[in-house]
Amino acid sequence: GLSQSVNVISSGNPDLKPEVAKTLTIGGVFSPSFLRGFNISIDYYNIRIRDAISQPFTYIQLADFCEQSNGTSPLCAQVIRPNGFDDRSPANYPSEIRLQNLNLAKVQTSGLDFEASWRGEVGPGAFGMRALATRLISYRQQNSTVLPERQYAGNADFIQGFYPLPMPKWRGTLNVDYSINNMSVGVQERYIGAYNISDIFRYEKNRIRSTVYTDLNLSFDIGGKQPKGFQFYITVNN
What span, in angstroms and rounded, lies between the C-alpha atoms of 5 and 3? Answer: 7
Query: Over 90: is that where the pLDDT of 224 sits?
Result: no
Percent of the chain at pLDDT exceeding 70: 97
Angle (CA) 212-215-220 rounded to 5° is: 160
Residue 21's SS3 state is strand
Give tens-digit pLDDT for 105-115.
Answer: 899 999 999 99
Give tens-digit pLDDT for 23-46.
Answer: 999 999 999 989 888 999 999 999
What pTM did the predictor assign? 0.75
The torsion angles phi and psi of 28, rounded to 5 degrees, stand at -155, 155
Q: Which helix (H) or strand (E) holds 179?
A: strand 170-180
Residue 140's SS3 state is strand
